[in-house]
Amino acid sequence: MSTQEFSSPRSEYTHIRVSPLTLNIGAEISGVDLGAPLAPEALAEVSAAFVDWKVIFFRGQNLDHAQHVSFARQMGEPTIGHAVFGHEDEFPEVYSIAKHRTANSIRGASMARAWTDWHTDITAAINPPMASILRGVTIPPFGGDTLWTNLAAAYRALSPALQSFVEGLNGIHRFEAPAEPDAKKDYAELIEKRRLESVHPLVTVHPVSGEKILYVSPAFLQEIEGLAPRESQALLEFLWEHSVRQDFTVRFKWQPGDLAMWDNRSTAHLAPSDIFQTDFDRQLYRITLVGETQRGTDGRASRAIAGLPILSAREELALAQSS
């Protein structure tokens, strides 16, 4: 990338401090206490930094569940904890990111490639969450870092010829249990209970920044509509490998009490796998915010093949009670 092509995220911040961690993605925010409601000016700047830097980090906030929920409500409408895997009993908005959660029970079943396990949260839904807010509670002394990648930078780094080719394509995103015989039964049953499958443009337009996004969530995107199977697989493998290139990524070393908030419309992320090589525990909690249907560069919208949109915690609970 030439220096002329690089446009640094541009907002001016006067009520918060924003310290970028890399050229393309990730900034630490200081000068705010998330345990109490933010002043409108600070909230507006946090929202701007979130879109500009795509993942923002707040050190040492030490929030409890209730404070986590009330911060999330200032940023948007919290979804049900996890549409497939459930939520904390007393806090329907909160999903436990425990080391040995059900979602991790199928680990190790497949061949690891550069993009393995990278994902954008729940892109199998027609309206994937717009943001995820993750809070660290128990953090190993070393290991357990999380990585994010900037999918707008990934799009910009493609050649104009490939950019215009992929803009016309749609991806089929599916939540599915691996075909391996050792795929755990309760994992497969939960996925079957809320089957989610959607078609999204392969290049989306960010509703706030207007940036074009290479929307290729590796763990959910299964095929490209209209291509022959080998064409689809070869192109996806190229796009996945490209989208996790080191210069688009940031790696975060957690401390207990830290909070990360990412723009789920413009990033993918990777949960650590090194934690399974040690006995160290690791416990985080996540809240996601209700998202919208994606749009392609020509304005075309996502389509659901299976499954309802992911609604707010309130609406999901009401639905569950009435069924």
Length of the chain: 323
Q: Which stretch binds Fe ion (CB under 5 A): 54-62, 72-80, 113-121, 233-241?
A: 113-121
> Among 52, 121, 258, 263, which one carries the catalytic annotation?
121
- Quick check: 167 binds Fe ion (CB under 5 A)? no
Strand intervals (E) in the chain: 17-20, 27-30, 55-58, 95-98, 131-138, 146-150, 170-174, 197-201, 203-205, 212-214, 221-224, 249-252, 259-263, 267-270, 283-289, 303-306
Among residues 46 and 139, whose Cβ is nearest to ligand AKG?
139
Is the separation of the CB atoms in 244 and 268 below 8 Å?
Answer: yes
Q: Return the one option of Fe ion, ligand AKG, none that residue 134 interacts with (CB less than 5 to 8 A, by type).
A: ligand AKG
Q: Angle, to 10 degrees, between the axis of helix 40-53 and the axis of helix 65-75?
A: 80
Smallest separation (angstroms) from ligand AKG to the CB of 52: 21
Using CB under 6 A, pick the residue from 127, 132, 204, 232 that binds ligand AKG: 132
**Helix residue spans in the chain (DSSP H):** 40-53, 65-75, 151-156, 160-167, 185-193, 229-243, 313-322
Residues paired with 78 in a beta bridge: 289
The maximal CA–CA distance of the chain, rounded, in angstroms, is 57
Q: Which stretch binds ligand AKG (CB under 6 A): 10-18, 198-206, 225-233, 268-276?
A: 268-276
Smallest separation (angstroms) from ligand AKG to the CB of 210: 25
Using CB under 6 A, pick the residue from 121, 167, 197, 263 that binds ligand AKG: 121
Q: What 3-state class would DSSP assign to 31?
A: coil
- Quick check: 232 binds ligand AKG (CB under 6 A)? no
Q: Which one-letter amino acid corresponds to residue 89? A: D
Using CB under 5 A, pick the residue from 93, 121, 258, 263 that binds Fe ion: 121
Q: What 3-state class would DSSP assign to 132?
A: strand
Smallest separation (angstroms) from ligand AKG to the CB of 275: 8
**Which string of x and - marks every residue 282-311 that binds ligand AKG (by CB under 6 A)?**
--x-x-------------------------
Looking up tokens 């409500």, which residue turns up?
73
Across the beta sheet with 95-98, the strand order is: 17-20, 27-30, 55-58, 259-263, 131-138, 283-289, 95-98
How far is Cα 264 from Cα 120, in angstroms, rounded to an integer? Answer: 6
* Residues between 69 and 108 that touch ligand AKG (CB under 6 A): 97
Smallest separation (angstroms) from ligand AKG to the CB of 105: 14
> Among 68, 87, 269, 282, which one carries the catalytic annotation?
269
- Quick check: 211 binds Fe ion (CB under 5 A)? no
Residues paired with 86 in a beta bridge: 82
User: By CB under 6 A, how many residues form the interface with ligand AKG?
Assistant: 10
Smallest separation (angstroms) from Fe ion to the CB of 211: 21
> Among 82, 87, 119, 173, which one carries the catalytic annotation?
119
> Encoding tokens for residue 229?
């199977």
Smallest separation (angstroms) from Fe ion to the CB of 119: 6
- Quick check: 271 binds ligand AKG (CB under 6 A)? yes
Among residues 232 and 249, whose Cβ is nearest to Fe ion?
249
- Quick check: 263 binds Fe ion (CB under 5 A)? no
Residues at the interface with ligand AKG (CB under 6 A): 97, 121, 132, 134, 146, 269, 271-272, 284, 286
Question: Which positions are catalytic?
Answer: 119, 121, 269, 286
Q: Which spans of this chain sit near Fe ion (rule: CB under 5 A)?
A: 121
